[in-house]
């Protein structure tokens, strides 16, 4: 962990590049490079990393080594290892691999849900309940946490606007189905700050302590503005991808996930500690560049550098 961790960080930055980023690009990163990258991210102070997805290797060959990556990642101290699972079968494989946390995507858009996982939203919620039952059969100290992200919560490329009432109703149903936390995902990069603040406030009002984090995309340049809006609503966990890796299949040439380096700088510059050493974080980009030659990486902070005299939040007298 970073030496600047003098207290528990204010904000949890959950890195999703090794899963969301890598599964979105055609090149496959070698397993040993994935593990070096994950170790470098953890060394920079990342405390939570989504390292893979337990789906069919035929569908996502980039994730075929998920169990091997988990096996390596769980050896890193002070790191919570996440994996995405679309269904009960995936959860069984992830649990066998030893993950600390399962994350399940459940789409608020019926068309997106059917296209993405071949299930209706109602069937996806029922699948979460099945995974909860499975987790509860395990010894208490071996149960991974179960989080759900509501995909297309802010709009869908197929359906267009998604009713906010539907999103909150789904969150309440997922909480009852046994999710430990339910977050909101701007899968398509449609969200705006007013919408983000409003919907997260409703999420906290609806499910209280089970309200989870924000998974935001920068497809239309709104990513960091949406982070500030979510902060105003009380969100303390944010997903991001180093270098904005993966792009966005819905908008060619546009970045997809918000860039971890830019997110960390935003938070730290606002006086919110993340426990992450930005210089070491930026240095980890070299592993991606070597393993995925030619893959575009994004980020204003890596391009421009840190401002002269920049002091991390944990070391500031006004923090």
Please give the positions annotated as active site. Answer: 248
292 three-class SS = coil
How far is it, in rounded angstroms, from Cα 178 to Cα 210? Answer: 10
Separation in Å, CA 223 to CA 25, 101, 230, 279: 20, 25, 11, 22
250 three-class SS = coil
How far is it, in rounded angstroms, from Cα 144 to Cα 209? Answer: 18
Separation in Å, CA 104 to CA 69, 225, 312: 19, 26, 33
φ/ψ of 139, rounded to 5, equals -55, 145
Q: Does the CA dihedral 251-253-257-263 come out positive or negative? A: negative
């Amino acid at each position: 962990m970073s030496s600047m961790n003098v207290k528990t960080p204010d904000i949890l930055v959950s890195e999703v590049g090794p899963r969301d980023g890598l599964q979105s690009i055609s090149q496959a990163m070698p397993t040993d490079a994935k593990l070096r990258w994950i170790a470098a991210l953890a060394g920079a102070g990342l405390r939570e990393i989504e390292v893979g997805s337990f789906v069919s290797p035929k569908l996502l060959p980039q994730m075929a080594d998920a169990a091997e990556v988990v096996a390596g990642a769980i050896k890193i101290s002070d790191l919570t290892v996440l994996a995405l699972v679309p269904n009960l079968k995936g959860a069984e494989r992830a649990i066998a691999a030893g993950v600390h946390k399962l994350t399940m995507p459940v789409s608020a858009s019926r068309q997106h849900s059917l296209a993405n996982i071949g299930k209706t939203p109602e069937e996806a919620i029922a699948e979460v309940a099945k995974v909860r039952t499975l987790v509860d059969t395990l010894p208490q100290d071996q149960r991974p946490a179960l989080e759900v992200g509501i995909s297309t919560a802010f709009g869908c490329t197929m359906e267009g606007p998604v009713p906010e009432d539907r999103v909150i109703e789904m969150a309440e149903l997922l909480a009852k189905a046994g999710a430990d936390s339910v977050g909101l995902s701007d899968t398509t990069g449609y969200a705006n700050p007013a919408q983000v603040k409003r919907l997260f406030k409703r999420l906290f009002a609806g499910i209280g302590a089970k309200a989870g984090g924000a998974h935001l995309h920068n497809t239309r340049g709104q990513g960091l503005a949406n982070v500030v809006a979510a902060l105003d609503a009380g969100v303390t966990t944010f997903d991001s991808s180093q270098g904005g890796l993966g792009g966005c299949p819905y908008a060619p040439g546009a970045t997809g996930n918000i860039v971890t380096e830019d997110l960390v700088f935003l938070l730290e510059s606002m006086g919110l500690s993340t426990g992450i050493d930005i210089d070491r974080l930026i240095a980890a980009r070299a592993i991606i560049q070597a393993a995925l030659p030619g893959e575009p990486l994004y980020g204003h902070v890596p391009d421009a550098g840190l401002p002269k005299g920049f002091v991390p939040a944990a070391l500031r007298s006004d923090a």
